[in-house]
Each structure stands twice: as C-alpha cells, then as structure tokens.
C-alpha cells in the first residue's frame, strides 16, 4: 500500500488537498473528471492513503477538503457543492441542508485520552478522573466540532458516574480548544498540551501518540461514547454513485478498521 503522508497545519482555515495518482494508463478516464470530497479531518490520513483506490473505483481524480464536520457543513450550507460529504455524526449533515436520509453509516471511533508517547502524562493520565489534576494542560475540540461534542458527552457522563463532588465541565478542565481533531493532535504532538480528548483512531498511524480508550461503562454506568462516521452523496453522477457503492462496502470499512484504527459498526 502506498500511503501519502499529510502534514497537519494549525490554521483556522480548512485545509484543501488535491491528490492525483501517478502512473495510470492513457485509457483511464480520470483526466476527464474529478470528484470533490469534503471530509472530517479525522479521516484525512485514511482517505489520502486510499486515494489510488478511490480513484480506481470512481474513474476520476480525487480532490479533498478536510476540516471540522461543522465547518464543512457551514461551507456547504453557504453554497459549496462537493460531490460527497464524509462527516462525524449527522448533526453536520442536517446543518449543511442535506437530506440525512441519504446518509450511510460506515465506521465508528471511540473517544480516547491521548498523550505524547513517553511523556509523564502518558504514564499518569490513564483514566478520566486523572484529568482533574490541575497540573495537566488539557485540550478539547471546540463545541462546534463533533469531537468537541463527544468530549462534552463523556465529561457529563463522568460527572454523573463519579458524583457531583468533581467538576468535569469544559470550562473547569480545558486549557485550550482546537477547531478540529487534527489541530488538536498537532498541539499535543508539539508539546503545547499534555493531554487531549479525541478519537482513538488518531493513534493508528501515529507512533508518537498514546491512546487510552475511555471504557463504555464504569461501575455499571455509561461513561465512554463513540462517534459514527457517515457518507452523504451530493452529486448523483455515475462516478459518485460508484464511489458511494465502494465507500459503503465491507471492503472499505474493513480497510478503515484494519489499517486506520476505526471500529466496525455494531449491527
């Protein structure tokens, strides 16, 4: 497998990336069409690594725009017309003005405690209640991003499970916020933060990070949460239909699970 490595850039603008496979035969029709995909930043490594496969399935060049699902939804609502929208959750699909009935679930990812490998935090922050120690610089995704919404759900659960003695509120714990999952990971990679809460799939292709998945239950009560990823078609062209068929296939989801740390849907 030929993987294309994408460098994360800490900017407020959404990152646009166009990738074209090399060495295709002259009979390939990719020069004649292009499919634009808007996708959650947490899918960036997986999709860029699978670009050749997506190009083959669609017969077209593939263009990406990665960012927070919420930010991408706002861009679509404002008039942008990508061919496919891969989002974390369906809230952003509704916000974009698209018909959520056309969305298809593909994989899931649990929320995890993420630290820099080998750091003191990687040894000492292994459970949600460890976040209460004020010595750790904690980062969360902004509430406008699905990874931020998911973190808030887990922190609310933690307050319920561990009692009202502890304040698990965002304002009490978080030192900073990031616009999307990729930006948040960059901050912990660069040492700006000790720990972040984001998707467990983040660690699959990053040997510099340590992920501790937050368990679904603690003492028989709900704690951990997952986000489900959806693909929503916008353009009904034949090439988009072919790509949609591939992205909703067992082959595609198995690749995301096996190679990129996502989780299979619970039937």
pLDDT tens-place string over residues 163-181: 867 899 999 999 999 999 9
Enter the DSSP assignment of 263. B
Q: Are residues 89 and 123 in the same domain?
A: no
Residue 103 shares a structural domain with residue 113: no
Does 164 share its domain with 128? yes
Residue 30: the pLDDT is 52
Q: Which residue ranges in the chain fall short of pLDDT 70? A: 1-31, 164, 267
Domain boundary among 207, 222, 237: 222
Contacts 24+ apart (CB under 8 A), 185-193: 185/8, 185/114, 185/209, 186/8, 186/9, 186/10, 187/10, 187/139, 188/114, 188/115, 188/116, 188/139, 189/8, 189/116, 191/116, 192/137, 192/139, 193/137, 193/138, 193/139
**102 and 47 fall within a common domain:** yes
The pLDDT of residue 23 is 40
Task: Decide if 134 is inside a domain.
Answer: yes
Same domain, 37 and 114: no
CATH classification of the domain holding 56: 3.40.190.10
In a domain, 266, yes or no: no
Are 213 and 249 within one domain? Answer: no
pLDDT reported for residue 5: 37
The predicted-structure confidence for 20-62, as pLDDT tens digits, reads as follows 434 443 334 455 899 999 999 999 999 999 999 999 999 999 9
Q: Are residues 211 and 198 in the same domain?
A: yes
Sign of the CA dihedral with 252 first, then 258, 259, and 265 last? positive
Q: Are residues 119 and 209 in the same domain?
A: yes
Question: Quick one: which of 187, 146, 150 has its CA closest to 41?
Answer: 146
Other residues' Cβ atoms within 10 Å of the Cβ of residue 106: 20
What is the count of structural domains for the chain?
Answer: 2
Domain around 132 = 109-222
CA distances 72 to 13, 105, 188, 243, 262, Å, are: 10, 18, 24, 20, 21
- Residue 113 and residue 99 share a domain: no
Residue 3 within a domain = no
> Is residue 199 located within the same domain as residue 171?
yes
Instruction: Verify that 96 and 182 share a domain, yes or no.
Output: no
**HSE-CB of 221 using CA atoms within 13 angstroms:** 10
Asked whether residue 196 is assigned to any structural domain, the reply reads yes
pLDDT of residue 211: 95
Which residues, at least 6 apart from 256, have a Cβ–Cβ distance to it below 8 Å? 46, 106, 107, 262
Q: Please tell me whether residues 93 and 145 are part of one structural domain.
A: no
In this structure, is residue 256 part of a structural domain? yes
């Amino acid at each position: 497998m030929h993987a294309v490595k994408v460098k994360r850039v800490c900017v407020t603008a959404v990152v646009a990336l166009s990738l074209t496979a090399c060495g295709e035969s002259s009979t390939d029709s990719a020069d004649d069409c292009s499919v634009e995909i808007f996708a959650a930043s947490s899918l960036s490594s997986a999709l860029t690594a699978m670009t050749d496969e997506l190009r083959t399935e669609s017969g077209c060049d593939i263009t990406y725009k990665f960012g927070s699902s919420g930010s991408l939804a706002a861009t679509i609502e404002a008039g942008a017309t990508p061919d496919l929208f891969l989002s974390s959750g369906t809230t952003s699909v509704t916000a974009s003005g698209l018909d959520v009935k056309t969305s298809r679930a593909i994989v899931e990812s649990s929320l995890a405690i993420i630290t820099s490998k080998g750091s003191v935090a990687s040894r000492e922050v292994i459970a949600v209640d460890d976040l209460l120690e004020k010595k750790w610089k904690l980062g969360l995704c902004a509430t406008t991003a699905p990874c931020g919404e998911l973190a808030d759900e887990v922190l609310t659960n933690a307050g319920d499970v561990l009692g009202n003695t502890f304040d698990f509120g965002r304002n009490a714990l978080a030192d900073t916020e990031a616009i999307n999952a990729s930006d948040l990971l960059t901050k912990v990679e660069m040492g700006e933060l000790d720990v972040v809460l984001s998707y467990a799939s983040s660690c699959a292709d990053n040997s510099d990070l340590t992920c501790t998945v937050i368990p679904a239950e603690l003492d028989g009560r709900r704690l951990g949460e997952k986000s489900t990823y959806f693909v929503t078609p916008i353009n009904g062209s034949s090439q988009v239909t072919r790509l949609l068929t591939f992205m909703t296939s067992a082959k595609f989801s198995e690749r995301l699970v096996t190679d990129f740390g996502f989780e299979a849907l619970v039937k």
